[in-house]
Amino acid sequence: MPTIVRFHQLGGPEILKLEELPTQEPGKGEVRLRVKAVGLNRAESMFYRGVYLEQPSFPSRLGYEAAGVVEAVGEGVDAQWIGKPVATIPNFLLTRHGTLGEETVVPVGALGEYPANLTPTQAAAIWMQYLTAYGALVRYGGVKAGDFVSIPAASSSVGLAAIQIVRDAGGTAIAVTRKADKRAALLDLGAQHVIVSEEEDYVARVQEITGGQGVRLTFDPVAGSFVEKLAAAAAQGGTVFVYGALSLEPTPFPLFPALGKGLSVRGYTLREITRDAGQREVAMKYVFDRVADGRFVPKIAKTFPFKETVQAYRYLESNQQVGKVVITVP
C-alpha cells in the first residue's frame, strides 16, 4: 500500500503522520500520479495550523505541488496522459486533494508537462512560484522596462520567481528581507538592490534607489503593519499586491497614501489565474518557454527524503531557506 501524509488535528509540523492507505482510484476527470518529488509552500503550514483560506476536515491530506508520472486516469480523461511526466498546478483546494505521498489523485486540469531539461525535483518547484508571480506582475501589473518593483520576503521561491520576472521584463527588482544574512544570496540571484528591513529605513532606501519616484509595483506576501511603509514608498498611481498573510497580524488600510497617490492596495491569489482555463494556458506557456530556454531557473534551497517530512516543514517554517524546499519520494 502507498504511504501518504495526513494529519488529524491542528498544530505544528509534528502533527504530520506517514500512513499507509489503499491505492486510490481516480474518479471522473481525475488522474493518479506516482509521485517523485513534492515542493513545499507556506500555504500548507498555514493550512495545518488552521490559519489558511480554508479549514481542514480530519483526517486531512496535504500538499499542492508534486512532480511525478501519470499511472492511471479516471472517466473522461484521455488515456494518452498515462506514462507522461507532469507537475501539478495548484488549482485545487487542499480540502479536496493533497499531493504529499507516494501517490496522489488530482484533477486532470491540474496537470502541466514540464520542460525536459528539468529534474523532478526542479519540476516540483516551478508552477506555484512562477504562476503566482506572473499573475500579479505580468497579467495584472503589466511590469515593463524601467519599472521599479519591491519584493518583500524575496528569499522565498515566489520572491525569487518575481525577481526573475522583473529582470526579464527589463525592470529593477528591489528585494526586501528582514535579516542581512540573505543579502549576498539575493544579489547573486538577480536582485539589483536589497533592503534589509530590520536594519534600514525602508521608505528612505526606496526613495534613494528610485530617485524619489517610488516603486510602481509592490508584491507582498507578509501583510500586517509593514503595508503602511510599502504604501509610503509607492509611486504615484502605484499598486501594492498583497498575496499572503505571513505576519498573521491585522493589516491596516493605508488611507492617506491611497488618497494622495491614487494608490491601489489589491488582494491577489494564484487562483485568479489557475481557475480560468484560458488564462491558465497563457500563463503556463509564459513560464514553460522561459524555463525551457534557461531564462528562468528554479532555486532549490534544500531537499529532504520523504521519511523526513516533519523536519522538512520545520525547516520551511524556520525561514532559513533561500528558494524552494523539496521532499524527494522513493
Tens of pLDDT, residue by residue over 217-269, are 999 999 999 999 999 999 999 999 999 988 889 999 999 999 999 999 999 99
Max alpha carbon distance in the chain (Å)? 61
Cα–Cα–Cα angle for 180, 43, 38, rounded to 5 degrees: 95
Q: DSSP letter at 58?
A: S
Rounded Cα distance between 125 and 313, Å, is: 15
Residue 282 lies in a domain: no
Residue in the block written with cell 521599479: 148
Q: What is the pLDDT of residue 79?
A: 96
Is there a single domain that holds both residue 26 and residue 121? yes
- For the segment 134-144, the average pLDDT, to the nearest whole number, is 98
Q: What is the pLDDT of residue 248?
A: 86
Is there a single domain that holds both residue 117 and residue 7? yes
Q: What is the pLDDT of residue 283?
A: 97
Residue 277 lies in a domain: no
Quick: pLDDT tens for 151-205: 999 999 999 999 999 999 999 999 999 999 999 999 999 999 999 999 999 999 9
Which amino acid does the sequence have at 192? Answer: Q
Residue 276 lies in a domain: no
Rounded Cα distance between 180 and 196, Å, is: 6
Q: What is the CATH number of the domain that holds 99?
A: 3.90.180.10
Residue 224 lies in a domain: yes
Residue 258 lies in a domain: yes
> pTM for the full model?
0.94
Rounded Cα distance between 129 and 273, Å, is: 13
Residue 279 lies in a domain: no
Question: What is the separation, in whole angstroms, between the first and last Cα of the chain?
Answer: 14
Range of the domain at 167: 131-270
> If 0-12 CB within 10 Å is exposed, 13-18 middle and 19+ buried, where does residue 270 land?
buried
Q: What is the CATH number of the domain that holds 223?
A: 3.40.50.720
The DSSP secondary structure of 291-310, one letter per residue, reads: HHTTSS-PPEEEEEEGGGHH
Q: What is the pLDDT of residue 156?
A: 95
Q: What is the pLDDT of residue 53?
A: 87
- For the segment 116-125, the average pLDDT, to the nearest whole number, is 96
Which amino acid does the sequence have at 10? Answer: L
**Percentage of residues in the chain having pLDDT higher than 90:** 96
Q: What is the pLDDT of residue 5?
A: 98
Whether 127 shows a pLDDT value over 90: the answer reads yes
Rounded Cα distance between 229 and 257, Å, is: 10
- For the segment 91-110, the average pLDDT, to the nearest whole number, is 95
Residue 281 lies in a domain: no
Whether 80 shows a pLDDT value over 90: the answer reads yes
Which stretches of the chain are DSSP H helices?
Answer: 42-49, 120-123, 127-134, 157-169, 183-188, 202-210, 227-232, 255-261, 271-274, 277-292, 309-318
Q: What is the mean pLDDT of the chain?
A: 96
Rounded Cα distance between 42 and 317, Å, is: 8
- For the segment 278-296, the average pLDDT, to the nearest whole number, is 96
How many structural domains does the chain have?
2
Residue 231 lies in a domain: yes
**Percentage of residues in the chain having pLDDT higher than 70:** 100
Rounded Cα distance between 270 and 63, Å, is: 15
Rounded Cα distance between 258 and 64, Å, is: 35
Whether 275 shows a pLDDT value over 90: the answer reads no
Whether 131 shows a pLDDT value over 90: the answer reads yes
Is there a single domain that holds both residue 250 and residue 310? no
Whether 34 shows a pLDDT value over 90: the answer reads yes
Q: What is the pLDDT of residue 299?
A: 96
Grid coordinates belonging to 261: 497617490
Is there a single domain that holds both residue 243 and residue 146? yes
